[in-house]
Amino acid sequence: MALYSEKVMDHFRNPRNVGVIEDANGVGLAGNAKCGDIMKMYLKIEDEVVQDVKFETFGCGSAIASSSMATELIKGQPLSEVRKLTNQAVAEALDGLPAYKMHCSVLAEEAIQAALQDYESRMTKEDN
């Protein structure tokens, strides 16, 4: 059996939603101290829905595929759904990752949740 699923290879070779959103209203960063990989997520949220999402990942192929798949999973979704996104869901959508590569999908979950927290803290500041 191949080490990586076709979906992982596809998202690694042709990552979706790569880049920066200049007027993002939620930005999150996640890193793994052991491997040194870093992922940054940009969210453009309007009416409690993720209208746009982009990412920059300086990391391994599984991290790139995980970021790409995660952006596809949350684009157009309400925040109530995005809050529930787990790394397991990202890995499942990729038809699995090798066990020692599961931490790569954790970066996607953490970067998105950090971006949501950033959005929420900006909203709180605006309200005050």
What whole-number distance in Å separates Cα of residue 90 and Cα of residue 26? 20
Q: Which of 41, 50, 107, 115 binds ligand FES (CB under 6 A)?
A: 107
State yes or no: is 60 an active-site residue: no
Stretch that binds ligand FES, among 4-12, 68-76, 80-88, 102-110 (CB under 6 A): 102-110
**Which residue, 35 or 123, has its beta carbon nearer to ligand FES?**
35
Binding-site string for ligand FES from residue 28 to residue 67, where x marks contact by CB under 6 A and - marks none: ----x--x-x---------------------xx-xx----
Q: Across the chain, which distance is largest between two alpha carbons, in Å?
A: 56
Q: How far apart are CA 30 and CA 39, in angstroms?
A: 5
So which residues are the catalytic ones?
Answer: 35, 104
Binding region for ligand FES (CB under 6 A): 32, 35, 37, 59-60, 62-63, 103-104, 107
